[in-house]
Structure 1
């Protein structure tokens, strides 16, 4: 057999083998099924189904940069992230993320909310905290959340809320489209306490509010069981001309965890919608028998005060806004104080 015959025979054998294999079916491995995120429109915009479940989840929050100005501006930062010093200005940054989960049950939607907030006064002075965490079903709410006393007028001048409004609470609230009424049991461990005691009290609060045409209203009350004192507040707004007029009044029987700024106070503002993007809100407040812990921790003092200010809100683009606020406080028996802040905020 010469070399040519050997090559031809090898080629023929290879063709036979290849033909036999080609006759067999080729089975390719099927790819793993891909479960795409499904939009959940049952509870409004922004929700999607958690893959593999019937629970809808929404993620939102904001990023804020703010510069405070005034006496001891750092110590007076509202977010509590700053360290006390004598600086006349202080900058801080905040990041907040909220997770809201909802699912249908035989009792109505079951809601769970977690809010994480991080505040940075500088690279070394930072604080991350649980800002809210609660569950809600059929009007009942339990967990860490803000009370009705956290509400206020739309500007930055009014001082008609509790010094601490975030509590571990149990609440029931009845709601319709234009009316709500509720009652809550609040743990007040970080609230007001007398000089001979420690903070370890609880309280009962109620909230009633609603809307009727161009008018909105809210009545809020609270009784601090440890201090055996209470407070009540009424607020209302009405559309007038190019803006919205807001009025509020509050009374407190003596300093307590629901209101301690003064024995009573009245506040007014007018939020002017100058353009689609610009809102200007001048406001005033009067305090009668203002609270001063340096004079008496248990009682109001004979010291009235006036406060006036203006807040300017500007919507730069969608989800990005700027705010400027300037406030002037004139106590009867203390030096007057001018303070304010500049804020940039991006919501998502």
Structure 2
């Protein structure tokens, strides 16, 4: 009896010990701490730290639906159909990365754009990609010649404004000045050479109270021609008056619509959500004949209406009438819905 009790007691003790060891063997390890995304407010709203780094990232973009109207809109006279309207959709996303360095903020920007004319006619493209530090910018980006007045009537920019470029821009308060060297590889050519063009552009601008101004110039080395443009806006009454003038020595990559042109608009702030912008432009020696400008003049008038439906969602409608002296007149326009984020 004593032996039996001893054996049973030993077995029970062994079971207790074994059970404790088994329980210890399946205890889960403590989870590692998770690094949550932190807000980065050093460069403005919308930035956050990339986990594990000191680099701040911002993601933004828009979705756009637009219906273009007019004579043979869309893919110009070379397309298969002759419809006078065309619906298109676009999605664009931009990534901006910033981090501090001993030379100031180091910025990198990538912009991807996706366009769809229909379910089978679609394209994706790199719209911009550049790095920026201490005033120097290198990569694929839009030139100062892409800027314009706020409406849709003015025609005072380059035919192609997106280039592989190297630029330096000095900024101080409300003033900037800079110079860029542009590869004009996909710009117009008028001297019979192949596509390997180089241009030099300068830009300066600023703001003084209610007045803003910009002066831009460019020289096309292959076409050996140049252009210069002045543009300004001033707040008057319920809106903003915009004026611009451009002169080109002959057709070139920086301006080829006319020898010279002047444009004006008045952007009326009708309400907090509604802006109405009538505009007008006059061209002298309009169009291109061979490697020279044409002899006739042209007029363009138009109206653009912007309406903010809710925050980050707006509608825009625009209609433009062009009357060249040596060509048929035309009326074009579009209606747009856009959601930004």
TM-score bracket for this pair, using the shorter chain length: over 0.9
- Secondary structure of the 1:16 match is helix
In structure 2, the partner of 1:73 is 73
Q: Deviations over 1:74-94 (max 9, x none)?
A: 1259xxxx9564210001100
Please give the alpha-carbon distance, in whole angstroms, between the structure 2 residues aligned to 1:85 and 1:112: 42
**1:197 deviation in Å?**
2.6
CA contact (8 A) 2:183 2:197 kept: yes
The alignment status of 1:161 with 2:154, answered yes or no, reads no
**1:28 deviation in Å?**
3.8
**1:336 deviation in Å?**
1.0
The alignment status of 1:16 with 2:8, answered yes or no, reads no
In structure 2, the partner of 1:144 is 140
Say if 1:242 and 1:14 are closer, same or farther in 2 by CA, change over 3 A: farther
Please give the alpha-carbon distance, in whole angstroms, between the structure 2 residues aligned to 1:135 and 1:12: 78
Please give the alpha-carbon distance, in whole angstroms, between the structure 2 residues aligned to 1:185 and 1:165: 13
**1:10 deviation in Å?**
8.9
In structure 2, the partner of 1:332 is 325
CA contact (8 A) 1:75 1:85 kept: no
CA contact (8 A) 2:231 2:245 kept: yes
The alignment status of 1:125 with 2:121, answered yes or no, reads yes
Instruction: In structure 2, list runs of 5 or more residues that go unmatched.
Output: none
In structure 1, the partner of 2:313 is 320
From 264, 283, 302, the counterpart of 1:309 = 302
**1:343 deviation in Å?**
0.4
In structure 2, the partner of 1:44 is 44
Please give the alpha-carbon distance, in whole angstroms, between the structure 2 residues aligned to 1:149 and 1:202: 15
Q: Deviations over 1:204-260 (max 9, x none)?
A: 000000000000000000000001100000000000000000000000000000000
CA contact (8 A) 2:145 2:158 kept: yes
Give the TM-score of the pair, scaled to structure 2: 0.94
CA contact (8 A) 1:75 1:84 kept: no
Say if 1:84 and 1:321 are closer, same or farther in 2 by CA, change over 3 A: farther
Please give the alpha-carbon distance, in whole angstroms, between the structure 1 residues aligned to 2:242 and 2:11: 93
**1:22 deviation in Å?**
7.5
The alignment status of 1:344 with 2:332, answered yes or no, reads no
In structure 2, the partner of 1:300 is 293
**1:133 deviation in Å?**
0.4
Please give the alpha-carbon distance, in whole angstroms, between the structure 2 residues aligned to 1:259 and 1:87: 30
Q: Deviations over 1:259-310 (max 9, x none)?
A: 0000000000000001111000000000000113xxx230001110000000
- Secondary structure of the 2:293 match is coil
Instruction: In structure 1, list runs of 5 or more residues that go unmatched.
Output: none
